Amino acid sequence: MTLWFEDIEPGTSWDLGTHKFTQDEIITFAKKYDPQYFHVDPEAAKDGPFGGLVASGWHTVSMGHKIMVDYLYEHDDMMRANGEEPGVSGPSPGVNKMQFKAPVRPGDEIRFKITVETKRKSNSLPGWGVLLNIIEAFNQEEELVYRSEIASFSKLRDFKPGLGLRLGMALAAMPILGKMIRRK
| Longest alpha-carbon distance in the chain | 66
Phi and psi torsions of 96, nearest 5°: -85, -40
- The alpha carbon dihedral of 59, 18, 108, 147 has a sign of positive
CATH topology of domain 5-155: Thiol Ester Dehydrase; Chain A (3.10.129)
92-125, pLDDT tens digit by residue? 999 999 999 999 999 999 999 999 999 999 998 8
pTM listed for this prediction: 0.84
Is pLDDT at 41 greater than 80 in this prediction?
yes
Ordered by start, the domain boundaries in the chain are: 5-155
pLDDT, average across residues 71-76? 94
